[in-house]
A and B are shown apart, each in its own frame.
Chain A
Amino acid sequence: MLDPTHPLNGLGTAFGSARAPLPVELRALNYEASGKLVIDNANLKIETRGITAIMGPNGAGKSVLLRLMHGLIAPTGGEILWGGRQMDRELSRRQAMVFQKPVLLRRSVAANIRHALGLRGVGRKERAIRVDDALKLAALERHASTPARVLSGGEQQRLCLARALSLEPELLFLDEPTASLDPASTLAIEKLLIDAQRRSIKIIVVTHDVGQARRLAQDVIFMHHGRIIEHGYADSFFDTPRSEGARAYLAGGLVL
């Protein structure tokens, strides 16, 4: 970031990242919990550099899939490859995730970012710089020393996103990041995501919001009953969904 030769400096952006290796690949991925096949033989190859949206009714397995791809839980079968390499601990440290419900430490706004950077082994000086950048990014400079948990819902989610971005991930997962936010807060998050994507961070986001997926996504994955039913370009998915499930889901009908 301080490096004037940094290729991203021309964009006037806060956080630079190495270009994410692609594709993200799932091969015959299974996840079984309490005797139930929650992820059922998922095969997938995400190659787009744009934002990928995962959609599907509640209980489809979207959150579990994200946690598998991020290495938070281990698959019971199959494999996950990223840039051709087996998912492992080192790789998952090049990723970040924003959870559906903001998880904030019982510390100040700035301390939340600082602690995250510390856990990733970022040095003291660099940490201070990135904390400032993240606060600016989230428009939370005024709240730097506010207890994080008294922020509004929108501010909390912005903080979570800025904290994730401060880690300079190559791949960023988000699980329904705007599910409980008002339109203005939602827009602020979307703007941050578009900025991040332009800085070549690969983004995979679970959303129920068709409008949001249309605004953000280059490609859409549709899940149902633990299976990946469709994966295609956003335009064609929304205009001509191929599966019955996706048609019903998009029509706002009951998907059974």
Chain B
Amino acid sequence: MTDFINAFKTALGLIVTLNPGLVEILFLSLKVSLSAVAIASVLGFAIGGTLAVYRFPGRGAVVAVLGALMGLPPVVAGLLVYLLLSNAGPLGVLQLLYTPTAMIIAQVVLVTPIIAALSCQACEDLLEEYDEQLRSLGASPRAIVLTLLWDGRYRLTSAVLAGFGRAIAEVGAVMIVGGNIDHVTRTMTTAIALETSKGNIALALALGIVLLATAVAVNAALMSVRRLALRLAYA
């Protein structure tokens, strides 16, 4: 119990004093995860919308794989990107390993299937209702995808939120490709892992509390944007 009380005190202290170390890793965490989610959203919307509308051989298999990849363990995503970026790997010349860029790439790999699969589901549901009407209006498949993505915008925000939750909370992928280097690739989750292993439970818990609060705040911000849009608009 004292651990918890100490943790809260430490957390409060870190926040109130705007501890520069905390601000740095919090900022990096947000930068990495928000960038990854932004990129994964563009990719995921495109993949999900395309899978919902276009019919091609192997489509069912792709959808199934995507569903399975939603549960991709972060360490596996990290390992894949590590192999890609390591000196011996195909992209080794880029020298990206142990940089924030590598962490963003790893989280994109982790999050894109989630956003793609959820977008695909949202578009498929809408398509059932819209298909004949849109084809009657002369819509090309591409125009149908764009129409579905726009009309599914509320469900797509949920997909983005799910992706963000996954990215901000994961530790395995950023640890492997980032290396948890102080001032370079240390994020909230890798710092928590490190402090815990060093026995600084109170500090680790404090970081955890800050991370949780940040995740809740980002979620709340996105939800209120979504509610505002809903109220203004045309669900």
Residues on A facing B (Cβ under 8 Å): 67, 70, 72, 92-93, 96-97, 99, 103, 105-108, 111, 115-116, 119-121, 147-149, 167
Question: Is the CB–CB distance between A103 and B129 below 8 Å?
Answer: yes
Q: A99 is contacted by which of B132, B139, B143, B235 (Cβ under 8 Å)?
A: B132
B56 within 8 A of A: no
Question: Cα distance A70–B151 when bound, in Å?
Answer: 25
Q: A149 is contacted by which of B130, B132, B150, B234 (Cβ under 8 Å)?
A: B234
A-B contact pairs, 11 of them (CB 8 A): A70-B136, A97-B136, A103-B129, A103-B133, A105-B147, A105-B234, A115-B147, A116-B137, A119-B138, A120-B137, A167-B137
Q: Which residues on the A side are within 8 Å of B138 (C-beta)?
A: 92-93, 119-121
B28 within 8 A of A: no
Question: Cα distance A108–B235 when bound, in Å?
Answer: 9
Q: Which residues on the A side are within 8 Å of B147 (C-beta)?
A: 105, 115, 119
B135 within 8 A of A: yes
Question: Cα distance A70–B137 when bound, in Å?
Answer: 11
Which of under 10, 10 to 19, 20 to 34, or 35 or more describes the interface residues of B?
10 to 19
Q: Which residues on the B side are within 8 Å of A147 (C-beta)?
A: 233-235
Question: Is the CB–CB distance between A119 and B133 below 8 Å?
Answer: no
The minimal Cβ–Cβ distance linking A191 to chain B, given in whole angstroms, is 23
Question: Is the CB–CB distance between B234 and A107 below 8 Å?
Answer: yes
When C-beta atoms are compared, the residue in chain A nearest to B133 turns out to be A103
Q: Which residues on the A side are within 8 Å of B79 (C-beta)?
A: none
B15 within 8 A of A: no
B134 within 8 A of A: yes
When C-beta atoms are compared, the residue in chain B nearest to A145 turns out to be B234
